[in-house]
Amino acid sequence: MNALTQALASAEPGLMTNLEALYKDIHQHPELSMQEVRTAKIVADEMEGLGYEVTRNIGVTGVVSVMKNGTGPTVMLRADMDALPMAENTGLPYASTVTARDADGVEVGVAHSCGHDMHVTWMIGAARILSTNRAAWRGTLMIVFQPGEETAEGASAMVRDWGESRFPKPDIILGQHVMVGVAGTVNYRPGVTLSAGDSLKIKLFGRGSHGSQPQTSIDPVIVAAATTLRLQTIVSREIAPTEPAVLTIGSLQAGTKENIIPDDATIKLNMRTFSEDTREYMLKSIRRICCAECDASGAERPPEFTTINSYPLTENDLVTTQRVAQAFGHQFGKNASLAPSPASASEDFSIFGRTWGVPYVFWFVGGTDAAVYAKAKQDKAVNKIPSNHSPKFAPQIHPTLETGLQAMLTAASAWLCAGTAA
C-alpha cells in the first residue's frame, strides 16, 4: 500500500458516504454528449474548492484542473462525463428519469448506462485525497473531465482548444473504465486494449417510381439489401479468421409507403478493428462494395459516404503499463490481473496521447456483484449480465467505488510518489 492509498484508508468515514451521494446525484441527472453543463459545473466548483487551478469550457464543457506540487513528473488523469441517449430500466431508487433533445432535436431518454457517473465520482475522490495529502507526492497533477466520449467528439474538441502553452504537457496519461467483472477487481493489458471503431452513413441513390411499375425504377431497396448482404462478406471472406474484426449494419432506412419505390436508401454501419492495416482495408472494401452494387444496378449516382464517428485504437504503452501493473500487484494482489484479450469496445481516450506523443495506460474496474458474477459464470451465462450500454446496466456501488478510487491513486502514485518518502 502506497502513501496515497494509505491516506484513502485512513480518510474520514464520511468520505465514501459523500462520494456515494455524489454518484447518485450525477446518476440521476445525466447529460448528453457535449451538453454536460451541470456535471461540468459540479466538478469545476469541487476542484476549485480543493485548491486546483481550474479552467472551464475546454472543448465546449470540458474542465482542466492543475495542481503544482514541487519538482516531479506531470501526470494527467482523465474521466469522461457524458451519458447515453436511452431510457434507464434498472429499477433503482436513484434511476434517471431525465429526457433531453439530442443533436438532431429529437427528445430521448438519458441515462448513465456506460458508467461515466462512476468515473467522475472516482476522479473527484482521487482529487480530494491528492489535494489533502500533498506531502505524500511531488510533481504536477492535471485532472481532466472530458465531454462527449460517446460521440467521439470530446477528446478531439479538448485537444483543439488546448493551445501550445495553456497547460503543462503530461509525461503520462492515465484513465480507467467500469465494466462487467467482479467488483473489487481490476484488469489491464499492454498493447492493444480497445478496438478502433468507425461508424458510417451510406446513402444509396436509385430512381423512384410506382410500385406497380418497377421497370421504370432503379430500386434502392434492392441495392441496399444486396449491399447489406455483400458487406458481411468482408469479415467472413476477406479478413483472415485469425484477425478479429466486426462489421454491423444497425440501420437500413428506405421509403415511406408499400407501393412507392423510393429515390434512395440509407445504411448506417459500425465496424471494429484491432489493427490499423485491417481498419484501412475494411474501409476501402466498404467503399468498393457499395460502389460496385450501385454500378451493378445501374444507379445514376455513386453512393454518398458520411463518417458518423471514428475512434482510434487504444494501445497501451508497454513500459508504462508494466509500471502500472506492478503497482496494481502490490495494491490488489490476486484481484489485479492481465486481461486475456482486447475488448471490442472503443474509446477516444487515446486521442490525447496520440496527439501529443505521450504514453498512456487505460484499464478496467469490475462493477458486478461477486455472487452474481460467480453464478453467471457457473451457468455459462456471463454474457447475460447487463453490460455497458444496456438499459439495465448498474454497477454495484460498493466496493466498485472504493476499488476505482484505489486504482487511480495507485497508478498515479507510480509516478507522483516515486522518489518521495512515500
For 143, other C-beta atoms within 10 Å of its C-beta total: 27
Please state whether beta strands 304-311 and 260-261 pair in parallel, antiparallel, or not at all (unpaired).
Answer: unpaired
Instruction: Show the cell assigned to 303.
Output: 453512393
Please state whether beta strands 304-311 and 360-368 pair in parallel, antiparallel, or not at all (unpaired).
Answer: unpaired
Torsion over CA of 251, 116, 341 and 393, rounded to 10 degrees? -70
114 annotated to bind ligand: yes
State the burial class of residue 307 (Cβ atoms within 10 Å of its Cβ: 0-12, 13-18, 19+): exposed
Nearest-CA neighbor of 22 among 123, 149, 93, 154?
Answer: 123
140 phi and psi angles, rounded to 5 deg = -115, 125
Distances (CA, A) of 302 to 135, 202, 294, 297, 307: 64, 10, 7, 11, 16
For residue 185, give the amino acid letter: T
Q: For residues 393 and 92, what is the distance between their CA atoms, to the nearest angstrom?
A: 11
Residue 257 is classified by DSSP as S
Q: Are 88 and 391 in contact (CB under 8 A)?
A: yes
For 211, other C-beta atoms within 10 Å of its C-beta total: 13
Q: For residues 216 and 420, what is the distance between their CA atoms, to the nearest angstrom?
A: 80
150 annotated to bind ligand: yes
111 phi and psi angles, rounded to 5 deg = -150, 145
Cα 18 to chain centroid, rounded = 26
Q: For residues 60 and 395, what is the distance between their CA atoms, to the nearest angstrom?
A: 28
DSSP letter string, 67-113:
EEESSS-EEEEEEE---BSS------TT----EEE-TTS-EEE-B-T
Instruction: Show the cell assigned to 96.
Output: 434517471
Torsion over CA of 143, 134, 329 and 17, rounded to 10 degrees? -70
For 216, other C-beta atoms within 10 Å of its C-beta total: 11
For 122, other C-beta atoms within 10 Å of its C-beta total: 28
Residues 6+ positions from 376 with CB-CB distance below 8 Å: 382, 384, 385
177 annotated to bind ligand: yes
Residue ranges of the annotated binding site for Mn(2+) are 114, 116, 150, 177
Residue ranges of the annotated binding site are 114, 116, 150, 177
